[in-house]
Amino acid sequence: MRYLLALFFPWMVFFTMGKVGQGIICLILQITLVGWLPATIWAFVSIGGYHADKRTDRIVAAVSSSNQQPVGDPRRI
């Protein structure tokens, strides 16, 4: 849903992710016809980063909630 929204209203995507300042900057960029394409690309990239952050948060929460012993860094000798 956010990807479709990013295509037509890139600035609104930032508001749905809680990034109000970036949304205002994107709206100002989108007002110009030349800025529409960069604003749309920026919105798509930000959505990808948002999903990656959420995925990382879920992984960290799962690892920290387990009762296993912490494993050392396998790259260390």
Domain ranges of the chain: 2-58
Q: What percent of the chain has pLDDT over 90?
A: 40
d(CA 40, CA 51): 17
Report the pLDDT value the prediction gives residue 77, as an integer from 0 to 100.
58
- Per-residue tokens: 53: 């952050």
| pLDDT tens digits, 23-56 | 999 999 888 878 888 999 999 999 999 999 899 9
**What is this structure's pTM?**
0.71
CB 30 within 8 A of CB 36: yes
Phi-psi region of 19 (alpha: psi -120 to 50; beta: other; left: phi over 0): beta
